[in-house]
Structure 1
Amino acid sequence: MSEEVTYADLKFQDSSQTENIQKFDKFEKEGMEKLNKLQNFKEELQRNMSLQLMQNTNSSQKIRNLSIKLEEIATKLCRELYIKNKGNKCKPCPEEWLWHDDNCYLPLSRYQQQKTWQKSDKICSHYNASLLTIKSKSVLEFIKSLQLYHYWLGLSPRKDSTAYRNLDTIIPLDWFTRNTSVISDKMYCGYIYYATFSYTKCTDTKNIICEKLAQSVKIESILMSEVLDRRK
């Protein structure tokens, strides 16, 4: 009798184990299915995010390109207004500064501020500017049109003087990089004399013309200039 009970118990245990195994297999299968769905969802989400990032990048690039184009148009319109009226408010230079290409220029001779070369350089630094440099044909022609007389140039100081040379030959020369420690009382600095340039002692006094980079032209400044011009 005890053997039958034992056998029955074993049959029951086998049946329970089989049922548990089946339930576990089912659970495992369902779990794998859910994991696969989650993996698919994750991959789909990543694809969507990648597409969105690409679209955002493209949109940002289009906005940047549009901003650059608008700034170019604004600069062109402002330049035309400035040619007609030097006092136009859209000019990207401070008041009294002259605008040419991407730079602003301030001749200081009318204030009779003749200074040594080093003092002149410090005065320009006060304006967040530097002494005049001529590095392109466009600037060369602009400076020649100003008919400057005894103005310091931002040429690198040298140890000897030279005879007057035609201003058209100045573009390949070296320009000062603000290493004032190399400048001594015995050095010579460049200056402009109408359509020529030469060197003299850096301790001599000359007129000053400063230059600095022009600010960006703002569209709103052009619109305001138009309004002000119409009121005149």
Structure 2
Amino acid sequence: MSEEVTYADLKFQDSTKTENTKRLDKFGKKVPPVPSRVWRQTTWTLSLLCLLLLVGLVVLGIMFYLTLKIEMGKLNKLQNIEEELQRNVSVQLLNNRNSSEKIRSLSIALQNVATQLCRELCRKDPEHKCKPCPESWIWHKDRCYLLSDYYLTWQESDMFCSAQNASLLTMRSESELEFIKSKNLFDYWLGLFPRKDNKLPEKIENLVFPSARFIRNTGDLKNMYCGYIYQTYVYYTSCRARKKFLCQKMANPSLNIESILTSDFPDGGM
């Protein structure tokens, strides 16, 4: 009985050694245990998930590429439309500019014709309604002139002209000088600087200035001398003396063309 037990134990031990020997490879290293069934299933599952994820990424990449291509096509179309609109706007602006220049040139030409026609009408009727100057004022070039027969001091004359939105005469051009000389004026105040000394007479040609020399805020004029025109000379006398005066101001730049067209034309015209 004991011999059987001993044999069985030996056999079990030998089988154990044999199994351990099988687990060693030919180099004497221990061979890892064979994977279990659950591990293999897990590996296959993870591999499948990775494959599905890769396929999903490829599909998303293709969809993104196609969408991007479509949107880029739309963007190019919008850019082409925008460029076309810009070209159309540029052409329209250029046409408008050319039209504006033509209208401006036509307006200037019409204004010149109206001015010439109005001058002819005023030559026949000095108080014609087309005249760009107030009633009783003389129209010359782009200015209006008022020859007053009132006798006032220099300061009173200045105040009177100022009330008419005008100023005492100061000649600014040769054309204006010739116009004033043609009126053959005697004893009319001018809008020159009041002086502290009584200057000798001088020719009116020496007092033509491109810009006005006149300043209204002159202060006390009790002992000052002011200039006045006497034919073709300018004299100086006390500013408190009384003389006639000549006011000037800019003419109305816009003639009433309608009043010209509806007027009776001279010499049997229209």
Give the TM-score taking structure 2 as reference length.
Answer: 0.75
- Residue 120 of structure 1 is matched in structure 2 by 157
**Is the aligned partner of 1:74 residue 2:111?**
no
**Is the aligned partner of 1:30 residue 2:70?**
yes
Q: What's the offset of the Cα at 1:182?
A: 5.5
String of CA shifts for 1:165-208, please: whole Å, max 9, x gaps. 33333325984332424563222111011232211111211112
- RMSD of aligned alpha carbons: 2.4
Counterpart-to-counterpart distance in 2, 1:134 and 1:4? 111
Amino acid at match of 2:166: A
String of CA shifts for 1:113-168, please: whole Å, max 9, x gaps. 21111111111010001111222222222222222221101112222222333333
Structure 2, gaps ≥5 residues long:
1-39
Counterpart-to-counterpart distance in 1, 2:220 and 2:142? 29
- Residue 152 of structure 1 is matched in structure 2 by 189
Give the stretch that moved more between structures: 130-139 or 178-187: 178-187
Counterpart-to-counterpart distance in 1, 2:54 and 2:164? 96
String of CA shifts for 1:74-126, please: whole Å, max 9, x gaps. 111111222232222211111111111111111110xxx21111111111010
Aligned with residue 264 of structure 2, among 205, 216, 226: 226
What SS does the aligned partner of 1:95 have?
Answer: coil
Counterpart-to-counterpart distance in 1, 2:213 and 2:222? 16
Counterpart-to-counterpart distance in 1, 2:46 and 2:210? 110
- Residue 16 of structure 2 is matched in structure 1 by none
Counterpart-to-counterpart distance in 2, 1:167 and 1:10? 110
What SS does the aligned partner of 1:225 have?
Answer: coil
* Alpha carbons 1:155, 1:173 under 8 Å: kept: no
Q: What's the offset of the Cα at 1:16?
A: 2.2
Counterpart-to-counterpart distance in 1, 2:207 and 2:52? 107
Give the TM-score taking structure 1 as reference length.
Answer: 0.87
Q: What's the offset of the Cα at 1:227?
A: 6.7
Amino acid at match of 1:93: C
Alignment of 1:1-232 (within 5 A): 2=41, 3-109=43-149, 113-172=150-209, 175-181=212-218, 184-215=221-252, 216-226=254-264
String of CA shifts for 1:14-39, please: whole Å, max 9, x gaps. 22221111011111111122222222
Amino acid at match of 2:258: E
* Alpha carbons 1:157, 1:176 under 8 Å: kept: no
Structure 1, gaps ≥5 residues long:
none
Amino acid at match of 1:136: S
Counterpart-to-counterpart distance in 2, 1:11 and 1:160? 114
Amino acid at match of 1:34: K
* Alpha carbons 1:162, 1:199 under 8 Å: kept: yes
User: Number of matched residues?
Assistant: 227
* Alpha carbons 1:157, 1:183 under 8 Å: kept: no
**Greater Rg by CA:** 2
Counterpart-to-counterpart distance in 2, 1:29 and 1:206? 93
